[in-house]
Amino acid sequence: MSDLPFVEAADGCRLAYRYRPGRGPAILFLPGYMSDMEGGKATALDAWAASEGRAMLRFDYRGCGASTGEFEAQSLANWRDDVLLMLDEMLDGEPAVLVGSSMGGWLMLLAALARPEQVKGLVGIAAAPDFTSWGFTPEQKMTILQEGRLEEPSPYGDAPYVTTRTFWESGEALRVLFGEIGIDCPVRLLHGQKDEDVPWTWALDLMGKLCSADVQATFVKDGDHRLSRDGDIALLIATVKGLLEVL
């Protein structure tokens, strides 16, 4: 990882990234919670983009992957600002399509609201907006507030799944599903109906709240939260390709 380039945020955090110029709009991949830019969906999409001569940018949020910073010190607002930094500095305001996985699907909405002229399309993979509100039991929320952190076993690796009060409070302040979402660009949503982390019905709720008339949802009957099987990744690539063709 020592050969990775970095972009520096205003507070001194250094964000690791991989960028390849090409035809626009550029694809910007946003990983999920406790994920990074080297995940299977990100790298597969990057390989496809390379084969098509498409510009693509992927990066690690602060405190994640190869970027600097302490993970447990971060908030959703910090990671939203990291996305905006990539749009402003690395893509220099040029048109972009955001592809967000799980929490990255929440961040893509926040970024589209902040940069409506630059963000031309969105693709959500098991998008999880507002999960600080609906994703925890009352008992878990009380633990977060009283003890400052909640630690749970992760089904995706050995490292425990940690949620801090800093992150949870930031998420609650940045909820988007309470009313109409003022995003007018085309949106594509992919969701597995066997997703045990983010119920697929949330995609319908998100679909109904988006202002855009061009919103399509695709459900995979036997798909889980990760949607990382070969067929799932083929669906993702086809979805991104189809969206880019109509922009």
Where does residue 246 rank: exposed (0-12), middle (13-18), buried (19+ CB within 10 A)?
exposed
Q: Which domain holds residue 27?
A: 6-129+182-246
pLDDT in tens, 70-89: 999 999 999 999 999 999 99
Q: Could you confirm whether 225 is annotated as catalytic?
A: yes
User: Per-residue DSSP letters for 43-78?
Assistant: HHHHHHHHHHTEEEEEE--TTSTTS-S-GGG--HHH
User: What CA–CA distance (Å, rounded) separates 155 from 159?
Assistant: 9
Distance between CA atoms of residues 122 and 54, nearest Å = 16
Gyration radius of the chain's alpha carbons? 17
Residue 158: per-residue pLDDT: 75
**pLDDT tens, the chain, 247 aa long:** 458 999 999 899 999 999 999 999 999 999 999 999 999 999 999 999 999 999 999 999 999 999 999 999 999 999 999 999 999 999 999 999 999 999 999 999 999 999 999 999 999 999 999 999 999 999 999 999 999 999 998 777 778 889 999 999 999 999 999 999 999 999 999 999 999 999 999 999 999 999 999 999 999 999 999 999 999 999 999 999 999 999 9
Cα–Cα separations (whole angstroms), residue 179 to 148, 182, 184, 199, 205: 29, 9, 15, 19, 10
pTM as predicted: 0.96
CATH of the domain at 212: 3.40.50.1820
Cis status of the peptide bond prior to 25, with omega within 30 of 0: yes
> Which tokens sit at 32?
């999920």
pLDDT of residue 138: 96
Q: Among residues 46, 60, 67, 225, which one is catalytic?
A: 225
Catalytic option among 46, 130, 195, 232: 195
Question: Is 47 part of any domain?
Answer: yes
Q: Let me know if residue 14 belongs to a domain.
A: yes
Number of domains in the chain: 1
Please pick, among 67, 102, 191, 232, the residue that the annotation labels catalytic: 102
Report the distance separating Cα 116 and Cα 168, nearest Å.
Answer: 26
Position 154 scores a pLDDT of: 78
233's CB contacts (< 8 A; 6+ apart) are: 40, 41, 44, 45, 227
Asked whether residue 153 is assigned to any structural domain, the reply reads no
- pLDDT score recorded for residue 2: 57
153: its two tokens: 């076993």
Residues 58, 109, 115, 99, CA torsion sign: positive
**Residue at 38 is within a domain:** yes
Residue 135: predicted pLDDT: 94
- Is residue 173, in this structure, part of any structural domain at all? no
Three-state DSSP string of 92-125:
CCCCEEEEEECHHHHHHHHHHHHCCCCEEEEEEE
Is 102 a known active-site residue?
Answer: yes
